[in-house]
Chains A and B, each alone.
Chain A
Amino acid sequence: MRSLGLGVRSLIRRRLRTALSILGIAVAAALLLDMVLLSGGIEKSFAELVLARGFQIRVTPKGTLPFDTEATIPGAAGVLAGIRADPDVETAGAVLGTPLFGRIPDSLVTLFGYGIEPEAQGVYEVTAGRDLGPADSAGVLLSPAAARLLDARIGDTVTLVGRLDPQALASRPGRRLVARGLVRWVYDARGQASVGTILPVMQRLAGQRGDDRVSVFVVKATSDSGVAGVAARLRERLPRLEVNSVADLVVHFRKRLVYFRQLSYILGSMSLVVTVLLVSTILTIAVGERLGEIATVRAIGVSRATVVKQVLAEGSALTLVGAALGMVLGLVTARYLDAILTSFPGLPAAFSFFVPRTGALLTAAAVLLATGAVAGAYPAWLAARAPVAATLRSEAT
């Protein structure tokens, strides 16, 4: 029968109004949660994506990010040897990314090709069949989409064709390769048809073999604490290349997507304002309706503090239930919105905009509860200041 119990019973007394209020708060809470998930989720998802295979450093052509452009780095073997010579580097590998074609009975289909070093790669996971050997120049790895496009199964032979020759308006000669396995390319967009061969094979297909060109080097340091040191030494040793740790990439990424963060802050703030207005309005109406009751309990000796606590408890109860419902609603809408946003062309399939995190959930819940208390402050003040004698007089007439 203390404040919270009385508050809850008062809310139950006006079932429809309470239910509608809770729904309104739930919608605002869902929006707030989604904005909290969005504001930090993109970065977290990006960092997880970049770190998916444990390589903490990327070396790319100057002024670019991995696979950002078609720019390549010449003399890959020499650069790689220099990187591997660093005592704090556990392993490093080179990757070439290039557009190419696959031959099907009566035409060519567009593919994306990865040239990789299977013994040090950070761009795929084998999901069926087997990986390529380091010198397997006759094998190829396929994404499920590529396998479908080429109508190929593990063990089948496929023909890959390099860039079209713009002078002759004809393709280069094809290369026949045997599908060794199906893989998930970490940075592929949903449904992207990608294939992978060992680096020299892809370099030949792309016409990049002559000066041994690659798109990116991936580097794994012996420990996380050594990453910054390795990156600094590589920057010094390779001044004409771009060296970025995962933390650096996240910073770059954050700069590019700053508008997402701003959007989430603005919409999150708006949802809080809506919650405050909603709870405050409902409680103000409730206090107005119950002035007679409030004057009575004050007259019989109930303290202002008890009256204030009851109004605040009502606000907190409304917000608590609305927030709980809003959390569920927010998680459901976050999944739906995430599905829409990640279907944009070119985004890695493993990327997420809304990443549920315990910290984000707790933050949203704490902010909402604080909001409920703030929203109850004005009606609680009204209740505490209710003129007892005048109200009782007007109630009696």
Chain B
Amino acid sequence: MTPPLLVATDLRKDYPMDAGTVHALRGVSLRIDPGEYVAIAGPSGCGKSTLLQLIGGIDTPSGGTVELLGTRLDLLSDRELTRLRLTRLGFVFQRFHLLPVLTARENVELPMAEADVPARERRTRADELLAYVGLAARGGHRPTQLSGGEMQRVAIARALANRPALLLADEPTGELDAATGRDILDLFRRLNDDGGTLVVVTHDERLAAQAGRVVHMLDGAVCD
């Protein structure tokens, strides 16, 4: 039996507020196997983005554990966790978050530069990735010169730069029109077909339906 890529156990996340503690996650457990395409679906505010941040090591849970490739994230130092995000995980955000001062190619190269990949190698890989997402001719363009769909494609190429074991996407089509959103989902489908493991957060049930498995959430808990 193939060992799981990610195991989240009894994850809880509380936010202390003036009016009382908000329980964003109430004991969520999740297992992701290599090669899976999982959608986490649910209405706004149900805790799906919080779950994504916890399993991505961006935020720390109030309780429970996350184990990625056999490594407990809560036992890592900040430096080790940063390194793990750089080399083992890829992130795609709703608002793309490309660096505006860099070209598309340079944005894709950024994580590789941080990982000390030699310049020639990262340029070659950046060009390959831009070609993979259909932007071979747009490498020299700045984000302001790209459409929303193109920016998200560059963001996906950036997320794939260091060959991550798991790609996490938070509402990747939230800022796009329906047609462009479908193109992005097609790209995710292709990524998964090529062996990639994906977890996509979305509030759109139709988009979630394209994933191999859908995890429904409501009020901070998995409701399947």
Which residue numbers of A lie inside 8 Å of B, CB to CB?
1-2, 6, 9-10, 12-13, 292-293, 296-304, 306, 388-389, 392-393, 395-396
Contact = CB atoms under 8 A, between A and B. Distances in A.
B83 A301 contact: yes
B37 interface: no
B189 interface: no
Given A297-B99, A395-B97, 9 more contacts: A2-B113, A12-B101, A293-B97, A299-B91, A301-B83, A304-B78, A389-B59, A395-B95, A396-B171
A306 B114 CA distance: 8
- Interface-central residue, B78, B86, B97, B159, by most chain A CB under 10 Å: B97
Interface stretch (B3-11, B102-110, B127-135, B213-221): B102-110
B192 interface: no
Contacts, number: 80
Contacts of A389: 53, 58-59
Interface residues of B, number: 36
Interface string B177-215: 000000000000000000000000000000000000000
Contacts of B95: 395-396
B102 A299 contact: no
Contacts of A10: 101
B23 interface: no
Contact of A1 (B58, B79, B90, B109): B109
Contacts of B158: 300
A1 B106 contact: yes
Contact of B87 (A6, A293, A301): A301
Contacts of B170: 396
A13 B82 contact: no
Contacts of B173: none
Contacts of A299: 56, 58, 85, 91, 93
B94 interface: yes
B111 interface: yes
A389 B110 CA distance: 20
A39 B97 CA distance: 51
B152 interface: no
Given A392-B93, A396-B171, A303 B79 contact: yes
Contacts of A395: 93, 95, 97
B65 interface: no
A285 to B, nearest CB: 16
Interface centre among A293, A302, A392 (most CB of B within 10 A): A392
A321 B86 CA distance: 34
A304 B82 contact: yes
A388 B79 CA distance: 14
A288 to B, nearest CB: 16
Contacts of B49: 393, 396
B89 interface: yes
B43 interface: no
